[in-house]
């Protein structure tokens, strides 16, 4: 009985020793690790559009013509200051015919004064140089021509001036009064006059039409008021 126990114990010890040796050998063996790709293995093949871009040489021809820079031209002004050709003709014909209220030299200065102010806007109570009312325009033009008088309203100048009649009314340089003495201008001839219009500024207007029924009368400055001018 003791012999059997000893035999079994011997067998068990031998088996245990074998297992322990095999385990130690397994631990001492180098581990073999199979490398794995970081990319999935089941992706479809890349399409041509996804292929890497390749730098190609441009086939565009070399520019051989000279480059010319064109300087932009300034735009034309929206408003052009013009003078009525009719007004010019009226003055010229009046001067040629001797139908002027003053000498040729003074009349020419009056005309130049009118043309230099042509188109300048109207402003009540103004005597220039950037705006004029009707009496301010007349005063400044005559003053530049050497015909001096005190700046006053149209109504006041009517009272200070002398009446004229017949053909003398339409001599260049005569004063015409309109709109119940609320407006005045400088006669060009029997057809029209120069004045400061509230809508057009310094301009020429014909008597016929709007103004013919608004004329109060025609006047001329007294001799003492024109001492520096050559009067007919």
The CATH number of domain 85-223, selected from 3.30.1300.10, 3.40.50.1260, 3.30.450.40, 3.90.1720.10: 3.90.1720.10
pLDDT value at residue 98: 72
CA distance 121 to 200: 7
- pLDDT at residue number 221: 86
Model confidence band, residue 223 (pLDDT cutoffs 50, 70, 90): low
Question: Where residue 75 falls among pLDDT bands split at 50, 70, 90?
Answer: very low
Tell me how far apart the alpha carbons of residues 58 and 200 are, in angstroms, rounded to a whole number.
64
The whole-number pLDDT of residue 206 equals 95
How is the chain split into domains, by residue range? 85-223
Contact 212, 206 (CB under 8 A): no
Length of the chain: 232
Can you name the residues that pair with 100 across neighbouring β-strands? 172
State the Cα–Cα distance between residues 173 and 186, nearest whole angstrom: 6
Encode pLDDT of 46-58 as tens digits.
555 555 555 555 5
Q: Which two tokens stand for residue 132?
A: 């004029």
Confidence of residue 158 (pLDDT cuts 50, 70, 90): very high
* Token output for 148: 């001096």
- Residue with more model confidence, 16 or 181: 181
Least confident of 127-136, 143-152, 174-183: 143-152
**What are the C-alpha distances in Å from 229 to residues 140, 162, 212, 226?**
15, 16, 30, 5
Of residues 3 and 132, more confidence is placed in: 132
**pLDDT at position 144 over 60:** yes
Answer whether residue 217 shows pLDDT above 90. Answer: yes
- The answer to whether residues 134 and 62 touch, using CB atoms and an 8 Å cutoff, is no
- Residue 183 pairs in a beta bridge with 178
* pLDDT, tens digit (0-9, with 9 covering 90-100), for 163-204: 999 999 999 999 999 999 999 999 999 999 999 999 999 999
The pLDDT confidence band at residue 76, using thresholds 50, 70 and 90, is: very low
Peptide bond into 129 cis (omega under 30): yes
pLDDT, residue 214, reads 97
Torsion angles phi and psi, residue 132, rounded to 5 = -145, 150
Instruction: Return the structure tokens found at 191.
Output: 């057809």
| Residue whose structure tokens are 């095999």 | 22
User: What pLDDT is attached to residue 10?
Assistant: 63
Tokens of 152: 């006053």
């Amino acid at each position: 009985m003791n012999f059997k126990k000893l035999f079994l114990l011997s067998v068990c010890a031998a088996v245990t020793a074998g297992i322990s040796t095999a385990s130690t050998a397994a631990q001492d063996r180098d581990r073999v690790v199979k490398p794995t790709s970081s990319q999935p293995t089941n992706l479809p093949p890349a399409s041509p559009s996804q292929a890497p871009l390749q730098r190609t040489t441009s086939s565009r021809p070399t520019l051989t013509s000279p480059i010319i820079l064109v300087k932009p031209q300034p735009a034309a002004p929206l408003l052009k200051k013009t003078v009525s050709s009719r007004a010019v003709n009226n003055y010229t014909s009046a001067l040629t015919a001797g139908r002027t209220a003053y000498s040729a030299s003074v009349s020419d200065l009056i005309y130049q004064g009118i043309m230099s102010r042509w188109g300048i806007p109207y402003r009540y109570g103004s005597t220039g140089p950037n705006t004029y009312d009707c009496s301010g325009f007349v005063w400044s033009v005559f003053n530049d021509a050497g015909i001096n008088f005190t700046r006053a309203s149209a109504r006041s100048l009517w009272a200070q001036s002398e009446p004229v009649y017949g053909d003398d009314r339409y001599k260049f340089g005569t004063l015409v009064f309109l709109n119940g003495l609320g407006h005045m201008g400088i006669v060009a001839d029997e057809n029209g006059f120069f004045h400061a219009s509230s809508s057009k500024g310094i301009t020429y207007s014909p008597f016929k039409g709007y103004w013919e029924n608004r004329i109060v009368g025609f006047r001329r400055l007294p001799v003492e008021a024109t001492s520096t001018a050559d009067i007919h």
